[in-house]
Amino acid sequence: MSADERAPRPGDAPFTERTPRVVAARRLTRRSGRDRAERFLAEGAQAVREALAWAAAGRGRVHELFVTATAGARNPELVREAAAAGVRVSGVTDKAAAVLSETVTPQGVVAVCSSVDVPLDVALAGGPRLVAVLHGVADPGNAGTVVRVADAAGADAVVFAGDAVDPHNGKCVRASTGSVFHLPIARARDADGVFAALRGAGLRLVAADGYAPEDLVTADLRGDLAAPTAWVFGSEAHGLPDEVVDSLDAALKVPIYGSAESLNLATAAAVCLYASARAQRA
Amino acid sequence: MSADERAPRPGDAPFTERTPRVVAARRLTRRSGRDRAERFLAEGAQAVREALAWAAAGRGRVHELFVTATAGARNPELVREAAAAGVRVSGVTDKAAAVLSETVTPQGVVAVCSSVDVPLDVALAGGPRLVAVLHGVADPGNAGTVVRVADAAGADAVVFAGDAVDPHNGKCVRASTGSVFHLPIARARDADGVFAALRGAGLRLVAADGYAPEDLVTADLRGDLAAPTAWVFGSEAHGLPDEVVDSLDAALKVPIYGSAESLNLATAAAVCLYASARAQRA
């Protein structure tokens, strides 16, 4: 089959929300469906472009692409690129695109991708120097934004530990703006096992903890942040449990110079990860 | 009237969504209504507590407090504190609280406050060293998060310049988690006038611009960030217009060490403002 044969042709009837392949893909909007199929949905032209690049690099697979007539007309090169890469491309109705979408305004272009997460030992291979750990973070938008920040700060991996959100959640994927495809992501329920593996990889485990007595500037001036570091972040609502903070190598807060009570998760992570990234490059 | 007389009493019929004072307050959920009345709504126990502290410091006024039976029972000290401060406290039905709310789950406690913004010259009085300027930022959640970050980083003021969101927008107030009450906020449509006033206050104007050739670490190592600085941030969707960037004293990007295309507005602002805060304290 040539690339042209894989792309939808003008005469083809678009898939509806009742077409079996759309019905199957729709199950991926739920965590149970994603876990079972080990696939997820990447929605929007930018996410699909990132997914194709990730697959082209041999890091995963794009199984198929659904595209509405409007989105197809707007992104002809994306459709061509997908077809050329051997991805099955199917036209869908606007309603079918809507049932596959987790956004208010469906983008009209959705890829079915294999899961991005890799085993923890794979994520930590190759001497990581900066890792972000999300411990029990439940909000997908926050988690995705931290993945984006970790990617920007040059982190080597992101680990979702404990009872955390699924990194393949639509809101997480969207908030990451493609970063879920850029750096290794691992998931493990057993947080103690994660911490042991991080230590085994030579990383110093630092809790980002708004209640810590010491702030990261003080630690940085002492040279602590230049060491290979895994920053451990807790949920925005509850922070890190005391027993987790106590089990790590250090706890540091972002200094609050004004009257705010705290920073939100993503902005705190930005300050922490960039402080380490800078110290490691100095 | 004693404080006790101001609080709603068990026999009082709660206000409904048709009670004139609730109808008047509801107009404050729209920008036109807020602009006309020069008042806005602060919802939730935390925001109301911050509003009362702000009023107690003589920086503004809380005109009245609406509270549902459930929220009143949960926050008796807040109701007492408001009444003791001379604030008119009225019981409202759940439905009335819902029409005053801009959240999915109404908090049941809403204060009518005088606007927080002050004239630009007032915001810039007293030799400011760190100011955040939001230029044309339209998303209220992003704007509120930047106000929170600016507060945390010890900024002296936040200026909403150009065609920007109203800082009193419910989502902005909520995202700021009380910070709109902590530091001076000014608004001005005329961005050039804002920049002139900032220069007049001795501040160096730095554009946060993802396309700038130089990054903030390089500038910091040269000592540039220790100077009194106004960081100018553009909208997340469009960034800063070229002519604005060209009119400022410098443009700096947050370095991207990994594969992310960019940071979002709030995380970029966190890295920029904290870099200055730290340099100024070194």
Q: Which residues of B touch A258 (CB under 8 A)?
A: 150-155, 179, 182-183
Select the residue of B178, B260, B278 nearest A148 (Cβ to Cβ). Answer: B260
CA B41/CA B19 separation, integer angstroms: 17
State the Cα–Cα distance between residues A14 and B9, nearest whole angstrom. 63
Q: How far apart are the first and last CA of chain A?
A: 53
Quote the crossing angle between the two packed helices B45-56 and B76-84, to the nearest 10°.
20
The answer to whether A260 and B153 have CB atoms below 8 angstroms apart is no
Give the total residue count for chain A.
Answer: 282
pLDDT per position as a tens digit, A246-261: 999 999 999 999 999 9
* Weakly modelled stretches of chain B, pLDDT under 50: 1, 3, 5
CB A31 within 8 A of CB A108: no
Residue A10: pLDDT band (50, 70, 90) is low
Instruction: Compute CA B64 distance to the chain's CA centroid, rounded to the nearest angstrom.
Output: 20
pLDDT at B1: 47
Which pLDDT does position A7 carry in this prediction? 60
Task: Compare CB distances from B155 to A150, A258, A262 and report the shortest one's residue.
Answer: A258
Provide mean pLDDT across the span A207-231. 97
pLDDT recorded at residue B205: 98
Cα separation, B8 vs B87, in Å, equals: 12
Q: Residue A1: pLDDT band by 50, 70, 90 thresholds? A: very low
Please give the mean pLDDT across all residues of chain B.
Answer: 95
d(CA B25, CA B8): 18
| Cβ contact, residue pair A270, B263, below 8 Å | yes
pLDDT score for A104? 84
State the pLDDT at residue B165.
Answer: 96
Q: What is the ipTM of this complex?
A: 0.93
Average model confidence (pLDDT) across chain A:
95
CA distances from B52 to A20, B101, B128, B189 (A): 58, 19, 26, 29
Q: Encode pLDDT of A118-172 as tens digits.
A: 999 999 999 999 999 999 999 999 999 999 999 999 999 999 999 999 999 999 9
Q: How far apart are CA A160 and CA B17, in angstroms?
A: 45
Q: Rounded to whole angstroms, how far apart are CA atoms B64 and B62?
A: 6
Q: How far apart are the CA of B9 and the nearest CA of chain A, in angstroms?
A: 33
Characterize the bridge pairing of strands B157-161 and B185-188: parallel
Q: Helices then strands (H, E): number in chain B?
A: 14, 10
Which segments of chain A are extended strands (E)? 39-43, 62-67, 88-91, 109-114, 130-135, 157-161, 185-188, 204-208, 229-233, 250-252
Chain A hits for B153, CB-CB cut-off 8 Å, are 257-258
Sheet strands side by side (includes B157-161): B185-188, B157-161, B130-135, B229-233, B204-208, B250-252
- Tell me the nearest-neighbour CA distance from B256 into chain A, angstroms: 5
Is B259 touching A (CB cutoff 8 A)?
yes
Rounded Cα–Cα distance for residues B275 and B142 (Å): 20
Domains of chain A in start order, with CATH, are: 3-114 (3.30.1330.30), 120-281 (3.40.1280.10)
Report the residue from B150, B152, B257 with minimal CB separation from A152: B257
pLDDT at residue A111 above 90? yes
Is B267 within 8 Å of A149 when comparing Cβ atoms? Answer: yes
Answer whether residue A9 shows pLDDT above 70: no
User: Any idea which residue has 């406290």 for tokens?
Assistant: B89
pLDDT in tens, A18-30: 999 999 999 999 9
Distance of CA A196 to the CA centre of its chain: 23
User: Which residues share a beta bridge with A91?
Assistant: A67
**Cβ-contact A102, A170 below 8 angstroms:** yes
